[in-house]
Chains A and B, each alone.
Chain A
Amino acid sequence: MSSTPRTPNGRPEPSAELTTLPPVIGINLGNSYASIAEGLAECIANEDGERQIACAISFHGEEMYIGNQAKVQLVKNSQNTITGFRNILGKKFSEIPQSALNMSAPVIQHPDLPDVPAYKVTVLQPAPSPLPIRPGNTSNYNTPSASNIPTPRSEPMSVDRYLTPDEVTTIFIRSLITSAEAFLGKKVKDAVITIPSWFTDAQQAALEKAAAETGVNVLQLLDEAGAAATTTTAESWESSLSPDRTQLLVDVGASSTSITVLSIRSGLAHVLASSNTPSVGGDTIDDKLIKHFSSEFTKKTKIPLTVIPATDIQDKRAEAKLRLALEHTKRTISASPGAATCSIESLKDGVDYTGSINRMRFDLVARPVYVSIGNAIISLLESNSIDSHDIDEIIYLGGSTSLPGLDEYICLSCGFREEVETPFTRGTVVGGGIGDPTTILARGCAVQAHLISSIIEEEDLKSAFTSKTSKAGDVNVTVRTLGVLLPNSNQDELGGMWVPVVKKETALPARRTVRVDVELSESNKVAMEVWEVKEGIRIEKTKPPKADYTDSEDDEEEEEEIEVKHQTLTKETFLGVIQFEAKAGIKVKGKSEYAGKILTSVDVRFVVGVDMGLKVVVKEVGEGGVDVNFEVPGLA
């Protein structure tokens, strides 16, 4: 896949292969926004050109609006606009916390069904058509009903409609699928849908049922962390990191933030730790910004505007307008280094407002939210005794994580290594490419859907793959890192060069091969000690390099120490030694560091069985190379 050009805006090349792809899609169904991706794992834009489709449905008169069109209705028609339905899907009415602050249609008890939540919306229903005139029904009386003109249909009448969250979800998913079908040009058969990790079985069942109503078969309900890992372990991710790495997923949704630490081992992923903070998210950033802009407005125009909470109906409307306009401001801040504007026509009392905010100001306003996200990360790592030094890669999910300020804060405050890879260091955040935090989940689902549809005939595999109850995913993992130590003459702490082969937290059975170049002595002998090691972190406190300040008064305050972390290795268990005489050594020519020395390449393969039995095969690369085996029996 790496050779196919990716267009900057994320639209796939409609290639000839497209027609042969199975009609599957991936749906990322968030609480506030959804996105869809097709078989080639590219995000699809809906009919309005939106890749981020707002989870909102609005009823206005006889019309129904879905997606971003519906979100706009929150200003004028909030009572008939339904948002946030995913989170209450499958829940009983009594389980739903009654929040006082709700802009959209209120959640009420369904009038007919016991303990079922429902949204009440007022719609216009077409009046029943009048009775047709029957021929031959001639009246003796000269009444209007006897006239030949058909009775005109009466005006549509206003009725109350009760929609359960399930029905709303069905309507919404159907619209997503319609968009996908319009893009693909054929009927969608199967789909994979994301769910948050805290979804209960009842909720999953409800989502599955709602999706089934649309006529699309749900192949799998995929955990959001899983969907992200699918994308980031795929070839198209093009990461320079080793396939064995530890990832930190930071998912900042609109209404909640979840953080997950994943151990990725050659594409196999498992969760090391995860947490969910419901009160922090994009909406909290919005709240801060709304406060900021409203106070600016009041300062400029002397019109009082109280928001969060707004009491007056006018203020409420102004808040809704601000919230909608901020979407654009946040996107601009994320995409360009300059200042972003926020302009609203007739914010209050017919007065327009145009304000601008630069990145620094923005970060200052949003800082409390950044801090709480950072704290959530730190506390999660601490509570699971994972050192931030172990994190190799940070993956961001959700639109708010496109903010460069957030990335900067997280990288600085949580003590990650400097070379930790984030979508920002890779430069893939903007442009709807593969690293775009808003598309990763949908892409992952699409990849997964494609994969499952390829094994659809192998029933046993498919059921093991997709079913929630399958025990196939329960595995043994290694606890310590395994590798070989090539002894050298200097007596440092390890006594040689350490080559890790099977990292800790690797699912079993595992097989890894590492190629090592070895310098040969005159005797051509090579020895490799097989060890289990324990990795640790040594913290060194060093003083920062003295800066030349002319201000001598500050000098005493600058004497703060900074912590520098180093990885340490402790030899834990000695398992054996492999010794052989190399036969395929080659003298290095040229001007390199090793010129004139004899080197040989050795492939070291470790196979660790489920029973912790270890098999080591050392093979010299080249003609006539040596082949040595070594085994450690498994635990009974």
Chain B
Amino acid sequence: MATVAPALPADYAPPTASTSRLTPASHRTLLPIGPAYLNHLKLSLKHANDFEALDSHLKDELDKKRALEADGANGEDDLGVGDEPEADEVLDLDPKEWKKHDYYAVLGLSHLRFRATQDQIKIAHRKKVLKHHPDKKVSSATPPTNALQFSGINTNDDAFFKCIQKAHEVLSHPEKRRQFDSVDPTFIEWEEDLPSTSVKNKKDLKFFTTFGPIFEHYSRFSRVQPVPPLGAVDATKAEVEGFYDFWYNFDSWRSFEWWDKEVNEGSDNRDDKRYTEKKNKSERARRKKEDTAKLRGLVDLTLGLDPRIKRIKQEEKEAREAKKRGAAGGPPKKTKQQEEEEKKKLEEEARKKEEEEKAARAEAKKAKAAAANAAKKARRAARAAEGET
């Protein structure tokens, strides 16, 4: 505030209390116009001239309206696309560097990303085009202030529009979109700080809150949907097994064409082209392999840390023991126990067999090595003998 009221003089003596009233009012007729009059009507007709009642009523209405808007219930449904404001760095994107753009941010779909449906992409594209069409930029430009604008040179006005078009082109083409989604910049960024094996040593590791979201993130790449979640600490054995089964056999559609080196279009050299293509192909395969290995490592890590595995083993053991004890108790459990024993026996046998095989294999290997050694020795002896003669 520009003016500041003066300090109270020390010798201030308040005037004697007054019993006066306000001057009686005069009468006027308000013009029935505008939102203020509407509020006045509400105040006088519905709230008995009580400002507090009106305030709370208006607040309620505003809340209601907001809730309605959030539901998208008013007017045309934009399928939850919303109006995301563009950040400055998005607006300043260079259309020539289109491979590096975040298309979801360009179309204002950052909150949906790979979940956005084709309809949503279409709506978002329309919204952006309405807002950023170059024709509109010229008409809505602020009055020209410098000589450059006077001369009619409007610098780079459609750059963002080009970005929008490119984003739409990519996202509305299923194959291109798949390639882009595979290397979605925000996902790559997120992927960089995945937990490594070092988390094993972390004392206060929160297993479910750490690994749950990770698998949720990765589930986007699965060709098979829905993807079983990591689940909670009290998941059943079947659930846990199903989870690891799924993730060890993960069928991913992720691919890395997006990062291909551009084939030099200018040259007609067929060999050049083939060379680049070949390199790209191998690079893609390498990345895919890396990705698979990374995921596998992650699953291994999870399996290693999963507290439920320990619990399930413990439970099984207890169950076995209980059965054992139960077998002594009564005949109905006998068959089960027998089965168990049989199974155990089978397992034992299998293990034995395996061990035997292993031993045999080792033996064979040893024998082979020994044979090879012997052959070598023989050869050497022969050479020596030759030398002597």
Q: Which of A's residues lie within 8 Å of B, judged by CB?
A: 5, 7-9, 11, 13-17, 19-20, 220, 222-223, 225-227, 229-230, 233-234, 262-263, 266-271, 444, 447-448, 451, 455, 460-461, 464-466, 470, 472-480, 482, 486-489, 496-497, 499, 505, 507-509, 511, 515-521, 523, 525-527, 529, 532, 572-577, 579, 594, 597, 599, 601, 607-610, 612-614, 632-635
Contacts and interface: CB of A to CB of B under 8 A. Distances in A.
B127 A465 contact: no
A575 B18 contact: yes
A599 B1 CA distance: 12
Nearest 8 CB-CB pairings of A with B: A267-B36, A20-B75, A476-B25, A488-B6, A489-B9, A486-B5, A226-B31, A521-B7
Contact of A612 (B5, B25, B139): B25
A621 to B, nearest CB: 11
B28 A7 contact: no
B236 interface: no
B45 A5 contact: no
A234 B38 CA distance: 13
Interface in B1-26: 1, 3-10, 12, 14-15, 17-18, 20-26
Contacts of B33: 222, 226-227, 229-230, 233, 269, 444, 448
Interface of B: 1, 3-10, 12, 14-15, 17-18, 20-38, 40-46, 49, 51, 74-76, 78, 83, 126-127, 130-131, 136, 139-140, 142-143
30 contacts: A8-B139, A13-B140, A16-B83, A20-B74, A226-B31, A233-B36, A270-B30, A271-B28, A271-B29, A460-B45, A461-B38, A461-B41, A464-B45, A465-B41, A474-B27, A475-B29, A476-B28, A486-B8, A497-B5, A509-B44, A509-B49, A521-B7, A521-B9, A523-B8, A609-B49, A610-B49, A612-B21, A612-B22, A632-B21, A633-B21
Nearest to B75: A20
Contacts of A482: 22
Contacts of A15: 130-131
Contacts of B78: 16
A5 B20 contact: no
A635 B22 contact: yes
Given A451-B38, A518-B4, A609-B49, A507 B28 contact: yes
Contacts of B7: 488, 518-521, 597
| Chain A binding surface, main DSSP class | mixed
Contacts of A14: 130
A218 to B, nearest CB: 14
Contacts of B34: 229-230, 233-234, 267-269, 447-448, 451
A8 B30 contact: no
A464 B39 CA distance: 12
A594 B4 CA distance: 9
Q: Which of B12, B42, B45 has the most CB of A within 10 A?
A: B12
A226 B32 contact: yes
Contacts of B45: 460-461, 464, 472
A185 B223 CA distance: 45
A398 B201 CA distance: 82
A263 B29 CA distance: 11
Contact of A519 (B6, B127, B136): B6
A465 B21 contact: no
A475 B31 CA distance: 11
Nearest to A467: B32
Contacts of B12: 487, 525, 527
A497 B321 CA distance: 93
Contacts of A517: 1, 3-5
Contact of B31 (A9, A20, A270): A270
A16 B6 CA distance: 52
A444 B37 CA distance: 14
Contact of B38 (A455, A489, A515): A455
Contacts of B15: 529, 574, 577
A268 B38 CA distance: 9
Contacts of A520: 7
A553 B136 CA distance: 63
Contacts of A233: 33-34, 36
B25 A16 contact: no
Contact of B6 (A230, A444, A489, A507): A489
Nearest to A5: B140
Contacts of B9: 487-489, 521
Contacts of A518: 4-5, 7
Contacts of B46: 461
B138 to A, nearest CB: 10
B21 A476 contact: no
A532 B31 contact: no
A143 B157 CA distance: 77
Nearest to A599: B4
